[in-house]
Structure 1
């Protein structure tokens, strides 16, 4: 069981503290991370004083997609989607503040500030109307943005999105916010933590590559990212226990995509509740995917997104 592995790791870390073992693992300088993970050529845009790392493909296309990743993730979640969709759409992905190469925010980590950040980002790129896509916490920011700025969101795509109260808070959130363990994790992050993270959010472990595990691990070691994630989690814990409000204002065409084997935000009851709140929404469920179908089964899920955007019938077939 993954949870048993996680508990064993925690025991090792706590034992190291008690015994006085050195815990420091060096952060990786931004310049080194850019060589490995920046877009080519690197794309940054100043958003209210924050240098935001982003990628843009299919710039000559009329219909724009803006894609928001979830916790402890980065714009790399959307790499295959970008390749698959760039022939038909302008596809924009970004490292949200506190993540990836963008790094720590220059604002307090709350929903209101993320909504305003997304609005400023869209404005800096000259985006007046676009399809907004979000996974997990990125989905939470997406639907809240759509409530605030409905005139800008042409269509809304929510993938295993946060919104309704969680009975069980995901392990990384609990680990980063625990008083002792949370502080340890700011200085010592074992590589196996990224492997555990991916095994919790993927339905099929064979889809997890060494390169993917390394990427998740190394981007957490960008200076300031771990502290930013901890702060974000602490300030948003209550959000994960609250009932949403304003969902009746989400009248734009909406697609709900869900991995049936999502253990973080289970389809039952979360997808059911979204369907009740948004009866007009189209729905596609992936029996063999977990929390991030856009990364785990990218070709299939990108095909379904195109079907939705083009008005075609949504049919899920194996890759």
Structure 2
């Protein structure tokens, strides 16, 4: 199982988890355990991350969404609740744009349908240059800790170290490719507005990556949306507010699957 690009546990209706930038399916390991009692839980490695060594010349959100579709096809998943953290949420939106019929619902977990601002694009370019010049370790070490709210960092030291370990295993070309792909992703707020499926948003009030005003710009757009704002939480709710986010996701999954046959 160790070399697989996915984990597949539990049974019943399916929830699929996509990790974020410089992460792997491993970030969901502890988080998804209670959900496995009630659902089939699948966590995927996106191309270039974790055990997914697929050699992509392009790390676009669209190409990663195609990889997700291929993995779901191989796993026999016809429909699922798709949960995307950060960059995984960008992939989720690309997937929803093309394959909405494969989704019962989606969750943007500290993520966004909005494109990068000009300032953020410039920051992505600077980061690409930094990674190319100084290497992966020098980038990851200062990158991870600020993803967590300051007040949570001491108690979550082990989780921060886990994130650093996972991040340092990400090849340099994957990091720079993913940064460029995030920089170039389109505005998908129109997709969000036109979705017929339920959408769940989980936001951290102290999230520097998805600021509160950006969260508020989009959470009202879907026809059917459920929104959770988490106080004293940065970008990593699966660690910072594990129980609350587990319960929110479970409730959302139970609602969208109510009355459906597994």
User: Which bracket does the TM-score occupy, shorter chain normalised?
Assistant: 0.7 to 0.9
Aligned match of 1:260: 205
What is the distance in 1 between the residues matched to 2:142 and 2:204?
A: 18
Q: Which moved more, 1:91-100 or 1:273-282?
A: 273-282
TM, length-normalised to structure 2: 0.86
If the length of structure 1 is used for normalisation, what is the TM-score? 0.72
Matches within 5 A, 1:228-243: 228-239=174-185, 242=187
- 8 A Cα contact 1:169 1:264, kept in partner: no
Tell which deviates more after alignment, 120-129 or 283-292: 283-292
Query: Is 2:58 the counterpart of 1:108?
Result: yes
Helix, strand or coil at the partner of 2:106 = strand
Counterpart CA distance in 1 for 2:189 and 2:55 is: 25
1:209-250 residue CA offsets vs partner (Å, 9 max, x unmatched) = 24x34433333444x71211112212431327x564433331
Deviations 1:155-197 (A, max 9, x none): 111112132144452998455312xx232233x623xx54532
Provide Cα deviations, 1:244-296, integer angstroms capped at 9, x if missing partner. 4433331101111111110111121x211222321520111101211121232
CA distance in 2: counterparts of 1:56 and 1:74, whole angstroms: 14
How many residues of Structure 1 are paired with residues of Structure 2 in the alignment?
A: 253
Matching of residues 162-201 of structure 1 within 5 Å:
162-167=112-117, 168-169=119-120, 173-178=124-129, 181-186=130-135, 189-190=137-138, 193-201=139-147
Match of 1:86 among 2, 18, 36: 36
Q: In angstroms, what is the RMSD of aligned CA positions?
A: 2.5
C-alpha distance in structure 2 between counterparts of 1:171 and 1:155, whole Å = 33
Larger Rg: 1
Task: Give structure 1 stretches of 5+ with no counterpart.
Answer: 1-40, 45-52, 313-319
Give the corresponding residue for 1:250: 195
**Do the aligned residues in 1 keep the contact of 2:144 with 2:164 (CA within 8 Å)?**
no
Is the 2:189–2:218 contact (alpha carbons within 8 Å) kept by the matching residues of 1?
A: no
Q: Decide whether aligned partners of structure 1 residues 172 and 197 sit closer, same or farther in structure 2, where only a CA change above 3 A counts.
A: farther
Unaligned runs of 5+ in 2: 257-262
For residues 214 and 75 of structure 1, do their structure 2 counterparts lie closer, same or farther at Cα, with a shift above 3 Å needed? same
Do 1:155 and 1:253's aligned partners in 2 also have CA atoms closer than 8 Å? yes
CA contact (8 A) 1:170 1:264 kept: no
Does the 8 A contact of 1:198 with 1:208 survive in 2? no
The corresponding residue for 2:171 is: 225
- The partner residue of 1:296 within 231, 237, 240 is 240
- The answer as to whether partners of 2:192 and 2:222 remain within 8 angstroms in 1 is yes
Cα distance in 1 for partners of 2:227, 2:62 equals: 28
Structure 1, residues 23-65: CA drift from partner, whole Å, max 9, x if none? xxxxxxxxxxxxxxxxxx4252xxxxxxxx221210xx22101
Given the alignment of the two structures, is residue 216 of structure 1 paired with residue 163 of structure 2, yes or no? yes
Which digits, 9 at most, give the CA deviation of each residue in 1:62-109, with x for residues without a partner?
Answer: 210110111111112212221120000111112211212324533421
**Preserved CA contact (<8 Å) 2:89 2:112:** yes
